[in-house]
DNA sequence: TTGTATGCGTTATCAT
DNA sequence: ATGATAACGCATACAA
């Protein structure tokens, strides 16, 4: 009935400007090789019709969508916002939109939505050994990059923190402070960062003549509850544990909450160290000492690798390992006298 | 060179199955009115070729993308993950994908990406009075819904919490506890929730014969720093302020940090109340007393409204106001003796 | 410098 | 029950 409410197409703009449709396409993309007058006339007409190129039409022919999928865990786990936000910002900066793709152990990410051509590439932040997703993406020819976690030996680009070195540094910090009864809440053993941090901790401790007493070790997902519950458990069932090394900051925050809840002072009565240096680690109430990995850099570098991969799917794979540094705040202290 | 690495199309499937392309389309969509044998043959061929329908082709003709944009603030502000996550989950449940669209006072959301046909609808969580976005979306015919915040008088669907009532409840709680020197950190006055919570607080206080002393009032964005700094300021420049009402939980968490940092005990020395009941409010160290709004319900209801709007763009607008309830935890207490 | 013509992969209409 | 055919809106190769 009312043809005016129809969405304007490049043909409409062409008609109004008195040019051909292809001229409209050229003009609006600023292609050069055309008279300034024509371009102006087209731009004027486009403005008048509030014309915005229809994305599906364009991507059907260009085979590009300027969208990238970010596979991440539950956003209410504070680690993911801190990783996704800089990712999103970097993607936006490069003219890409971010599509959120949830992934968890219980409900693995859906592959269909990543292989229907609606994404130019995918960033994987939750890789686990044995996961089928990377294979499926590779088979489908979808460019992707491992971030934060990787799958060793899998031929793909990756950007990760130097987890081993960070954990060694943690061990040294604790030993220097006089801790001998060190406890730990380790991450899942089917994740690269979980394993590397574990290995680094053992290595660092051993190098200083210390060992991890299995009685002081707990293991679980990288989440608050794991840290909270494991800490209460450690508090209830072990003696003299003076420090708890956590698989990441979110776990460490859970540990802080447990320790404080138990009436102990973090830093004085119990040393807690995290990993990642998420924003909340810097909140005054926590003052979490942690191994910092620049998440903004991690995001930027990951996006950069993905862009290169999209640009040239045949290029050789790159693995970027980011420096880490110990961020000393208030959650550590000398070992309390036994 | 290698035609086998080309993406399979419905034509490829048709050729392999020995049927026409249109039959493939029908078979794979389960359209009925065709022989089971043919369907099976098509499905078999599709599987063999790992065929996934190309999204751009489909959406070009169907005019639907099964993608929804969620306009939200910086994810490192813990309120947004708590709102976006259930939103994403609900959208996924309905077969929609979530596209993250950032929006802040400094850099307002880009309209182009919402009007290029790549989104079936948009959810606005950061509406501000005077914002052009809602008008632009309406002009472009893009279905959208206000969530969390709205613009009063703007003809659109909306789903918000009962902010006024919640703030009145807060006032009553404080007065009942004996607080008379009540301080407040109010939200931006160009946001509906900021204004409504402010109005409700005043109303509730006045009804009990109390008034807000301007000296005890600060104002700022809904973020941690606002709560932290305003609280330090309040602590330094006012006497006897025994309670601080915050515009939301994130601000309240900032306030808790400031108060604790100052060596005071939250709940005993200073009462702090938030709004929203985000997950972190329940963390043991904070035990934040707050006015709860079921964010999962907010998300689900918002998505429902959007779906209805997409389905029928001409239907009359609906405004849903969600119940709130006071969640009493540990951050409140009786007014300390003066 | 500009126009004509073609095709991207899908859904959908219309025959048969 | 199935096949031919025509759009959908755009970019692009080629002609002029």
Report the DSSP pairing between strands B289-293 and B324-327.
Answer: antiparallel
pLDDT at A151: 98
pLDDT at A2: 41
Q: Which of B298, B248, B261, B290 is nearest to B273 (CA)?
A: B290
pLDDT at B33: 85
Closest-lying nucleotide for B26 based on CA to C1': C11
* B284 SS3 class: coil
Q: Which of A244, A196, A246 is nearest to A220 (CA)?
A: A246
Residues of B in contact with A74 (CB under 8 A): 85
pLDDT at B2: 40
- State, as a whole number of angstroms, the distance between the CA of A53 and the C1' of D10: 8
pLDDT at A5: 73
Contact B5 A55 (CB under 8 A): no
**Which stretches does DSSP call E strand in B64-211?**
67-72, 97-102, 121-124, 144-147, 157-161, 182-186
Contact A99 B97 (CB under 8 A): yes
Give dist(CA A266, CA B222) in Å, integer.
Answer: 29
> pLDDT tens string for chain A (338 positions)?
344 578 999 999 999 999 999 999 999 999 988 999 999 999 999 999 999 999 999 999 999 999 999 999 999 999 999 999 999 999 999 999 999 999 999 999 999 999 999 999 999 999 999 999 999 999 999 999 999 999 999 999 999 999 999 999 999 999 999 999 999 999 999 999 999 999 999 999 999 999 999 999 999 999 999 999 999 999 999 999 999 999 999 999 999 999 999 999 999 999 999 999 999 999 999 999 999 999 999 999 999 999 999 999 999 999 999 999 999 999 999 986 44
Give dist(CA B308, CA B296) in Å, integer.
Answer: 18
Contact A78 B78 (CB under 8 A): yes
Closest chain A residue to B110, measured at CA: A92
Residue that is written with structure tokens 């909340």 in the block: A280
Give dist(CA B81, CA A81) in Å, integer.
Answer: 7
Q: Which two tokens stand for residue A271?
A: 């040393």
Residues of B in contact with A227 (CB under 8 A): none
Task: Evaluate if the CB of B28 falls below 7 Å from strand D.
Answer: no
Residue that is written with structure tokens 């209830």 in the block: A236
Say what the pTM is.
Answer: 0.96
Give dist(CA A147, CA A83) in Å, integer.
Answer: 10
Distance from CA of A133 to the nearest CA of B (A): 14
Residues of B in contact with A284 (CB under 8 A): 228, 257-258, 260-261
pLDDT at A336: 67
B177 within 8 A of B333, measured Cβ to Cβ? yes
- State, as a whole number of angstroms, the distance between the CA of B23 and the C1' of C12: 12
Beta bridge partners of B172: none
Closest-lying nucleotide for B62 based on CA to C1': C11
Bases in strand C with any atom closer than 7 Å to a protein CB: 1-5, 7-13
Low-confidence ranges of chain B (pLDDT < 50): 1-3, 337-338
Bases in strand D with any atom closer than 7 Å to a protein CB: 1-5, 7-13
pLDDT at B32: 85
- State, as a whole number of angstroms, the distance between the CA of A23 and the C1' of C2: 7
Candidate from B98, B113, B261 with C-beta closest to A284: B261
Candidate from B7, B56, B85 with C-beta closest to A74: B85
């Amino acid at each position: 009935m009312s043809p005016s409410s129809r969405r304007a197409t490049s043909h409409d703009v062409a008609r109004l400007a008195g040019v051909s449709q292809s001229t409209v396409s050229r003009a609006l993309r600023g292609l050069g090789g055309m008279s300034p007058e024509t371009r102006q006339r087209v731009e004027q007409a486009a403005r008048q019709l509030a014309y915005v190129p229809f994305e599906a039409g364009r991507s059907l022919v260009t085979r590009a969508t300027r969208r990238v999928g970010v596979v991440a865990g539950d956003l209410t786990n504070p680690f993911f916002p801190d990783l996704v936000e800089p990712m999103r910002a970097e993607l936006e900066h490069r003219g890409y939109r971010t599509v959120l793709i949830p992934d968890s152990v219980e409900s693995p990410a859906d592959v269909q939505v990543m292989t229907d051509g609606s994404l130019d590439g995918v960033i994987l932040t939750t890789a686990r050994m044995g996961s089928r997703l990377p294979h499926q993406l590779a088979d489908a020819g979808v460019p992707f990059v491992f971030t934060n976690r990787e799958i060793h030996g899998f031929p793909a680009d990756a950007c990760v923190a130097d987890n081993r070195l960070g954990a060694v540094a943690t061990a040294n910090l604790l030993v220097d402070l006089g801790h001998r009864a060190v406890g730990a809440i380790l991450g899942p053993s089917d994740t690269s960062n979980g394993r590397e941090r574990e290995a680094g901790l053992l290595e660092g401790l051993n190098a200083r003549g210390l060992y991890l007493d299995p009685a002081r070790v707990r293991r679980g997902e990288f989440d608050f509850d794991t840290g909270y519950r494991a800490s209460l458990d450690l508090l209830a069932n072990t003696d003299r544990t003076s420090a708890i090394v956590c698989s990441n900051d979110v776990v460490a925050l859970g540990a802080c909450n447990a320790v404080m809840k138990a009436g102990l002072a973090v830093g004085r009565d119990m040393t807690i160290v995290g990993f990642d240096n998420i924003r909340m680690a810097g909140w005054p109430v926590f003052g979490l000492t942690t191994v910092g990995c620049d998440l903004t850099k991690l995001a930027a570098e990951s996006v950069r690798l993905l862009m290169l991969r999209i640009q040239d799917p045949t290029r050789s794979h790159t693995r970027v390992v980011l420096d880490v540094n110990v961020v000393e705040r208030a959650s550590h202290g000398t070992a309390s006298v036994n």
